[in-house]
């Protein structure tokens, strides 16, 4: 009996000692570095159409990583600020407040960008002067992003963790890295420097100063883009922005990659015992793509060059940290529509919207309710902001107030009655605030709506139609704008092809699960448990 009891105790002790071996942390090491790569304007079909041309980083991710073939954004608009905010927060604009690249701020009574912030200063480059509206050259901060990012949560879990964001565009650097980043860096087309904001620091770190002192931008503007001699990158003599043409070139991405390498070395990312996060946004694909469209040879060339730049970046990471110790995720902030010229040549629907929507609405309301300044002009291309003072003052001939909805209904009718506007639907503030039943477009509109920032009427154009007169763009709820790559590779990732539908919102909560940290505050994504090895 005694022997049996002793045996039981022995077994219990043994099992107790075994527990750490089964579940212990030593079996599931954390990545030393998480790298979030976001290629600005990169459709999913760029992976498949140019597959045979990839022999670098994209090829490595496709062969060794997890490839989600059906990742679709589920909000509108599909633009840079929105995609970059979703990437590392998992949050919809309805929660994060990131309703566009810019919007009309009713408190400040002016148009603002997603990251402009006049309480801060630009560090390391030229200082813009405050203008009537916020621009991309203004100082920036993540102040308008209302939710936490993966990086913010990583810092909460371990204050030793470092978070860095890099892009040509301020919003591409600031929004994925978040509020608690050690630094977000972007390109200043006046000085050719990478700059940051006083939100993060008052002086550039030595490694960034050293990078800027190499004056790479001044070299790059003289380079030729082999095969595309009509592209020139030097600004006209005496231009106030000598480097303004560089973002729309292969060299914009080269600058980003080289700066990212120096950040990894300079900040010793992934080499200090804590998990770090580096977000790198390759912006030049977007600038080039806008001009020539997804079917131009330039876009193929940019994609191939991006694949090669990623190989360089991965090589450095392997040398410094070891690829087996990192997790890399690659996605895009949005796709793009074919150019209207291409659509016409292919007998496909699509085109530029030539008629002026604001004019049409303004005159319809003048006719119906009397002359007034009904709209805030130029505040948005895919929505209409009304002047709320005018709405409040609007009276019938017998001096009764006119209900807002009646005004919106007249505007909506005016828009839908003009076929040249190619608007297929109009959603009013009231509909989006109260929730509407409907299909994926209705849900995308609701996911993209934030009451204090969004327009009063949201417009949906027919597929292929866009405002503008040249090139092409992205903003819509259609597959060409919504369908993007989501590729994971590295520690703890089960490689393979995953055909089930997902959203890019799923990236952040999945990474949070892998890192055993809190999920970012506004995340509505699903954890992609199918790709996790544990």
Q: Total residues contacting Zn ion (rule CB under 5 A)?
A: 1
Q: Cα(55)–Cα(306) distance, rounded to whole angstroms?
A: 11
- DSSP-H helix ranges across 417-504: 429-434, 440-447, 479-482
Site stretch for Zn ion (CB under 5 A), options 69-77, 206-214, 278-286, 459-467: 278-286
Torsions phi, psi for 445 (to 5 deg): -65, -40
Catalytic residue (one of 48, 69, 78, 80): 80
CB of 469 to Zn ion, least distance (A): 16
**DSSP secondary structure string, 42-101?**
--THHHHHTGGG--SHHHHHHHHSEEEEEEE--SS---HHHHHHHHHH-B-HHHH---SS
Site stretch for Zn ion (CB under 5 A), options 281-289, 443-451, 477-485, 509-517: 281-289
**DSSP secondary structure string, 225-240?**
-TT-TT---PPPTT-S
Q: Cα(37)–Cα(307) distance, rounded to whole angstroms?
A: 12
CB of 42 to Zn ion, least distance (A): 11
Q: Assign residue 280 a region: left if phi > 0, alpha if psi is -120 to 50, beta otherwise?
A: beta
Could you tell me which residues come within 8 angstroms of residue 60 by beta carbon, excluding any fewer than 6 positions away? 310, 311, 314, 489
Pairing label, strands 33-39, 326-332: parallel
Residues facing 432 on adjacent strands: none
For the record, the structure tokens of 486 come out as 């989501």
- Rounded CA Rg of the chain: 25
- Contact status: 286 vs Zn ion (CB under 5 A): yes
DSSP structural state of residue 276: E
Q: What separation, in Å, do the N-terminal and C-terminal C-alpha atoms of the chain show?
A: 42
**DSSP secondary structure string, 184-223?**
EEEE-TTT--EEEETTT-SS--HHHHHHHHT-HHHHHTT-
- Contact status: 298 vs Zn ion (CB under 5 A): no
Site stretch for Zn ion (CB under 5 A), options 42-50, 283-291, 306-314, 476-484: 283-291
Max Cα–Cα distance, the chain, nearest Å: 102
Task: Tell me the residue nearest to Zn ion as measured from the CB.
Answer: 286
Count the residues in the chain: 534
In the three-class reduction of DSSP (H, G, I as helix; E, B as strand; rest coil), residue 254 is classed as helix
Q: Cα(366)–Cα(374) distance, rounded to whole angstroms?
A: 8
CB of 422 to Zn ion, least distance (A): 20
Residue 188 vs 286, nearer CB to Zn ion: 286
**DSSP secondary structure string, 308-333?**
HHHHHHHHHHHHHT-GGGEEEEEEES
CB of 136 to Zn ion, least distance (A): 12
- Contact status: 67 vs Zn ion (CB under 5 A): no
Residue 266 vs 471, nearer CB to Zn ion: 471
Torsions phi, psi for 511 (to 5 deg): -65, -40
CB of 79 to Zn ion, least distance (A): 7
Residue 286 vs 343, nearer CB to Zn ion: 286
Residue 286 vs 307, nearer CB to Zn ion: 286
Q: Cα(127)–Cα(193) distance, rounded to whole angstroms?
A: 12
CB of 333 to Zn ion, least distance (A): 8
CB of 167 to Zn ion, least distance (A): 13
Q: Cα(257)–Cα(242) distance, rounded to whole angstroms?
A: 21
Site stretch for Zn ion (CB under 5 A), options 173-181, 285-293, 343-351, 432-440: 285-293
Closest CA to 475 of 412, 383, 385, 411: 383
Residue 276 vs 286, nearer CB to Zn ion: 286
CB of 40 to Zn ion, least distance (A): 7
CB of 140 to Zn ion, least distance (A): 18
Site stretch for Zn ion (CB under 5 A), options 6-14, 261-269, 284-292, 399-407: 284-292
Q: Mark whether 149 is an active-site residue.
A: no
Query: Do 276 and 34 meet the contact criterion of CB atoms below 8 Å apart?
Result: yes
Site stretch for Zn ion (CB under 5 A), options 237-245, 279-287, 310-318, 427-435: 279-287
Residue 262 vs 286, nearer CB to Zn ion: 286
Residue 275 vs 303, nearer CB to Zn ion: 303
What is the per-residue binding string for Zn ion in 236-275, x denoting contact by CB under 5 A?
Answer: ----------------------------------------
Residue 188 vs 481, nearer CB to Zn ion: 481
Residue 294 vs 509, nearer CB to Zn ion: 294
- Contact status: 333 vs Zn ion (CB under 5 A): no
CA atoms lying within 13 Å on the CB side of residue 355: 15
Residue 280 vs 365, nearer CB to Zn ion: 280
CB of 290 to Zn ion, least distance (A): 6
Q: Cα(475)–Cα(31) distance, rounded to whole angstroms?
A: 35
Give the residue numbers annotated as catalytic, written as ranges.
Answer: 80
The residues binding Zn ion (CB under 5 A) are: 286
């Amino acid at each position: 009996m005694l022997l049996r009891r002793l045996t039981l105790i022995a077994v219990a002790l043994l099992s107790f000692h075994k527990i750490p071996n089964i579940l212990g942390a030593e079996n599931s090491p954390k990545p030393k570095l998480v790298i979030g790569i976001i290629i600005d304007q990169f459709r999913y079909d760029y992976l498949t159409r140019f597959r045979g041309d990839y022999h670098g980083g994209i090829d490595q991710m496709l062969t060794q990583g997890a490839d989600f073939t059906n990742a679709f954004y589920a909000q509108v608009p599909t633009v840079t600020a929105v995609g970059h905010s979703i990437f590392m927060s998992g949050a919809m604009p309805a929660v994060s407040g990131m309703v566009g690249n810019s919007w009309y701020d009713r408190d400040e009574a002016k148009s603002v960008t997603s990251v402009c912030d006049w309480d801060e200063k630009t560090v390391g480059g030229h200082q813009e002067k405050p203008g009537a509206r916020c621009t991309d050259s203004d100082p920036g901060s993540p102040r308008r992003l209302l939710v936490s990012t993966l990086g913010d949560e990583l810092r909460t879990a371990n204050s030793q963790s470092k978070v860095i964001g890099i892009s040509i565009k301020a919003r591409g650097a600031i929004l994925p890295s978040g509020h608690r980043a050690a630094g977000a860096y972007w390109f200043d087309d006046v000085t050719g420097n990478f700059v940051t904001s006083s939100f993060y620091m008052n002086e550039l770190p030595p490694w960034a100063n050293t990078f800027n002192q190499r004056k790479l931008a001044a070299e790059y503007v003289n380079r030729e883009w082999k095969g595309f001699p009509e592209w020139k990158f030097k600004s006209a003599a005496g231009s106030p922005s000598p480097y303004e043409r560089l973002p729309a070139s292969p060299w914009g991405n080269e600058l980003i990659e080289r700066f990212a390498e120096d950040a990894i070395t300079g900040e010793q990312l992934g080499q200090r015992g804590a998990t770090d996060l580096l977000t790198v946004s390759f912006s030049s694909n977007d600038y080039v793509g806008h001009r020539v469209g997804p079917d131009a040879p330039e876009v193929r060339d940019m994609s191939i060059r991006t694949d090669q730049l990623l190989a360089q970046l991965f090589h450095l990471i392997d040398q410094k940290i070891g690829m087996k110790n990192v997790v890399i995720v690659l996605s895009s902030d949005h796709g793009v529509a074919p150019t209207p010229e291409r659509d016409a040549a292919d007998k496909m629907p699509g085109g530029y919207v030539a008629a002026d929507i604001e004019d049409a609405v303004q005159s319809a309301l003048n006719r119906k309710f009397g002359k007034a300044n009904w709209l805030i002009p130029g505040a948005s291309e895919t929505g209409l902001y009304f002047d709320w003072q005018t709405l409040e003052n609007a009276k019938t001939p017998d001096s009764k107030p006119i209900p807002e909805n009646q005004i919106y209904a007249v505007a909506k009718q005016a828009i839908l009655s003009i076929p040249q506007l190619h608007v297929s639907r109009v959603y009013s503030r009231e509909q989006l605030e109260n929730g509407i039943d409907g299909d994926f477009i209705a849900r995308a509109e609701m996911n993209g709506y934030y009451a204090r920032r969004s327009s009063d009427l949201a417009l949906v154009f027919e597929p292929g139609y866009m405002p503008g007169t040249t090139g092409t763009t992205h903003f819509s709820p259609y597959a060409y704008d919504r369908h993007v790559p989501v590729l994971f590779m590295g520690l703890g990732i089960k490689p393979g092809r995953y055909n089930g539908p997902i959203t890019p919102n799923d990236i952040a909560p999945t990474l949070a699960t892998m890192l055993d940290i809190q999920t970012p505050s506004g995340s509505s994504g699903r954890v992609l448990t199918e790709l996790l090895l544990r």
